[in-house]
Structure 1
């Protein structure tokens, strides 16, 4: 997805969450994304100094993108992001996913 696609998705998410007066959606989206309303406002104006993490979060939370996981097949991008962030564990599935994510091309690793 391009930056413009993600920005359109963000604006759509805000519009969907507005009240009947057309307000409040940005505050709700900021909470969902785990950021302040000010940060979201700066991002929307194009003045946020480092927009990449915000774009990635929009992609995770609101994007409907499906990617190919070499370990388990086609999965939503949000699931991929959750597996990348998971710490190692003794559960066999999650231990396998932890090892796979470390070298996955979707995670910048080398297969």
Structure 2
């Protein structure tokens, strides 16, 4: 019922990190990965600061779509906000780089 949840979030007006994260996860889990990426972009455009969980979900979406370019942008954002070394986030980056065939990048995150 992602569409219904989207309507509720829109009615809230100003969205917080919990709303953003819930919607990103909902889109991701319902097979609407592109929508999850668009919503993450909207979240960043509103200067909301994601924590490790939405970052890891978005990186997992990038891994599923083998979207290396977007994944690298997200990696840069994770670095800038200081969560690239978080276990959940770094594991997602390892998976993404591996699925995209970027063995050197996989290794650099691993070590």
The answer, yes or no, to whether TM exceeds 0.5 is no
Question: Per residue, is there more helix in 1 or in 2?
Answer: 2
Which TM-score band applies after superposition, normalised by the shorter structure? under 0.3
- TM-score by length of structure 1 reads 0.25
Instruction: Choose 1 or 2 for highest CA Rg.
Output: 1
Q: Which has the higher relative contact order, 1 or 2, with Cα contacts under 8 A spaced 6 or more apart?
A: 2
Structure having the larger proportion of residues in strand = 1
Q: TM-score when scaled to structure 2?
A: 0.25
